[in-house]
Amino acid sequence: MNIDVSTIFQIAGIGIIVAMIHTVLKQMGKEDMAHWVTVIGFVVVLFMVVRLLNDLFQEIKTIFLFQ
């Protein structure tokens, strides 16, 4: 029973910082750059989540599906 709480904080922090950068870039009038920042942050966090999801599916496969 060891969930890495730090990763949850990491994701939330990335979200807040990306929102901040988005706002600043928008104020500077660089709309397209702001959207790219959002997309890149999203992809980074998506990598974290997908890696954990892969772990989960492997566990379920080994326990329930006998593969």
Partner 1 sequence: MLQIVGIGLLATVLILIVREQKPIFAFLISAFVGIGIFLAMIGKIDSVVSVLEDLADRSGIPSVYLKTMLKIIGIAYIAEFGAQIVRDSGMESVASKIEFAGKMLILVMSVPIISVMIETVLNLLPS
Site size toward partner 1, by CB under 8 A: 35
To the nearest 10 degrees (0 to 180), the angle between helices 31-60 and 5-27 is 160
For 28, which DSSP code?
Answer: T
Residue whose pair of structure tokens reads 């593969």 in the numeric block = 67
By the rule CB under 8 A, 45 interacts with partner 1: yes
CA distance 63 to 31: 48
By the rule CB under 8 A, 40 interacts with partner 1: no
Choose which of 27, 29, 32, 65 interacts with partner 1 (CB under 8 A): 65
Binding site residues, partner 1, CB under 8 A: 1-5, 7-9, 11-12, 14-16, 18-19, 22, 38, 41-42, 45-46, 48-49, 52-53, 55-57, 59-61, 63-66
